Structure 1
């Protein structure tokens, strides 16, 4: 069955089977340490990066959000984190530690397979799903320093199981369990955000009916010239909410604030959560979708898994009337299907697509 994403995009964008960057990186030293020109992004060296230790993301405790004694104060703290940073670290989320360790082990094992075995889970169709797919807008487009496995995980009847790995043998069961657990977590966060926004929870949940979810597993190989490449170009997420799990302890996530890039330090057993475009628009700008990117390491690979809560595909993306309350709408409205087509058409232009929705 075709995924929601594939059905929605049709032929408007192109996903190709890209060269494995992991395989490319493994050949460095044999003939050359020069990064191919297609991967060199000049803005990396030009951008300003804040000094280490210059900031720390807010920490939100999900156990306190669940506890009536502490929930009111923690909801206010959550609202500040979403409004000021658009990012936070989520602790005490309740996802079983053993399950998290299995997720990390299975993803690592998959990326450690020989390339030909990983290629088994790819597709020839114009789809983002499977291993090694990259969105490519033109032949001149710069490529990101990453191998990825992209899966549609919820609802279950939208899964393309032919691109779900069977090696390691536990992979499918592990990701299935992880997917269900993260839908529970995002459901609780959306409910808490509804309280902070002063609206009924079902208003926000209606945007995410059936809780559609996709996962992107990222392998950023070490690079001899990390100052010239990016694992992920500067972008905002075209989702409602993103939960990022660091599979290993290599840092690489950066967020932009006040025209400066800030390094996000890994927090043990926490999810890094960020607001996506859909929630910025729905909240009428109260929760910003913040530009972020991934840098790479000289000596060691970085592995992560991002889980995206995406909207119900037949919903309308626009400011929620219950949030606006008769005031000024700061964003245009349009069907989600049209929104996501535009998102991928403008994916390589940072926040420019989001800015086009603003009403001045």
Structure 2
């Protein structure tokens, strides 16, 4: 986690022309750029992103055209980080399955799905914003995935979750901690026992914020949902 935090921050600190070597290609969200920009007429979010589909493919887009030793270090750190996050996700859903009381065979299939299913990572950079009340960090939404693991690269809060009484609550960063956010696949799988919370990202007037989102859509879990 320490290596990943340092190297992600290092990437966003690079000059713009260096980051552009890993830029998104037309028609693709993978690489460096801004997520989900479908029109130049819409309001843009106050952030930059590196988005990668890391499994079953590797992270070659991040190093495309790059000869910098620093980029190679990021790739090595990311591959190790991805491996560890996949193991963590499998452990988390194992205990969720145990709490749901599913039988051993299905529990094994559930944990295997998260250990071997599709995996994506998004690295987000939110610059300091002179008028944060007028900017969009990340729009309110619930994840459609199975599970997302969020790692903060600093101590700047920005994640907010919608509470049961319809109020936005700030999630304070915990040093060395990982925020586990369940998606709609797990909500459906658990028949609503576990909920996919609405959440958003706000920006800070004076300080930047960097974080990593490791997301497991897990196509085989979708098959489990259909079976249930």
TM-score, normalization: structure 1?
0.58
Which consecutive residues of structure 1, in runs of 5 or more, have no partner in the other structure?
1-99, 322-360
SS at match of 1:285: coil
Write out aligned runs for 1:255-294 (5 A). Answer: 255-257=161-163, 258-294=165-201
CA contact (8 A) 1:281 1:319 kept: no
Matched residue, 1:245: 151
Write out aligned runs for 1:5-20 (5 A). Answer: none
SS at match of 2:35: strand
> Cα RMSD over matched residues?
2.0
**Counterpart among 268, 285, 304 of residue 211 in structure 2:** 304
Matched residue, 1:104: 5
Distance in 2 between the 1:135 and 1:172 partners? 24
Deviations 1:326-355 (A, max 9, x none): xxxxxxxxxxxxxxxxxxxxxxxxxxxxxx
Alpha-carbon distance change, 313 to 184 in structure 1, aligned in 2, over 3 angstroms: closer
Task: State the Cα distance separating 1:311 from its structure 2 match.
Answer: 1.3
1:192 and 2:98 correspond: no
1:174 and 2:81 correspond: no
Matched residue, 1:159: 58
CA contact (8 A) 2:141 2:198 kept: yes
CA contact (8 A) 1:281 1:317 kept: no
1:224 and 2:130 correspond: yes
Write out aligned runs for 1:1-360 (5 A). Answer: 100-155=1-56, 158-159=57-58, 161-164=60-63, 166=66, 167=68, 168=70, 169-199=72-102, 200=104, 201-205=107-111, 207-208=113-114, 210-257=116-163, 258-312=165-219, 315-316=222-223, 318=225, 321=228
In our comparison, the structure showing a higher alpha carbon Rg is 1
Deviations 1:167-211 (A, max 9, x none): 423110000000001111111111111100111312424654723
Which consecutive residues of structure 2, in runs of 5 or more, have no partner in the other structure?
none
Alpha-carbon distance change, 142 to 160 in structure 1, aligned in 2, over 3 angstroms: same
TM-score, normalization: structure 2?
0.89
Task: State the Cα distance separating 1:248 from its structure 2 match.
Answer: 1.1
Deviations 1:202-223 (A, max 9, x none): 2424654723211100000000
